[in-house]
Amino acid sequence: MNGVEAVLLGVGIAVVTWLPFAGLTSLGARRRGQVRTLAVLSGALFPVTWVVWYLRDERRAEPDNVTCADRS
């Protein structure tokens, strides 16, 4: 295997690994109400998108905002 084949193999593995996560992130972005173009961009940049979603959802799940525990 020469250098060009090794690079192509590495790029292929990276793309095959990236696509499922990007696709699922795009679907999640559409469900959250983003327009299609921004959803595709969110999928392409999915690590950044996941961090933003985590930080936004973390604030909603703080104990002050939880009302289900108060009902018991």
pTM of this prediction? 0.62
Q: How confident is the model at residue 69, as a pLDDT? A: 54
Query: Token digits for 7?
Result: 């690079």
| Longest CA pairwise span in the chain (Å) | 66
Q: Model confidence over 49-64: pLDDT tens digits?
A: 888 888 887 766 556 5
CA atoms within 13 A on the CB side of 36: 0
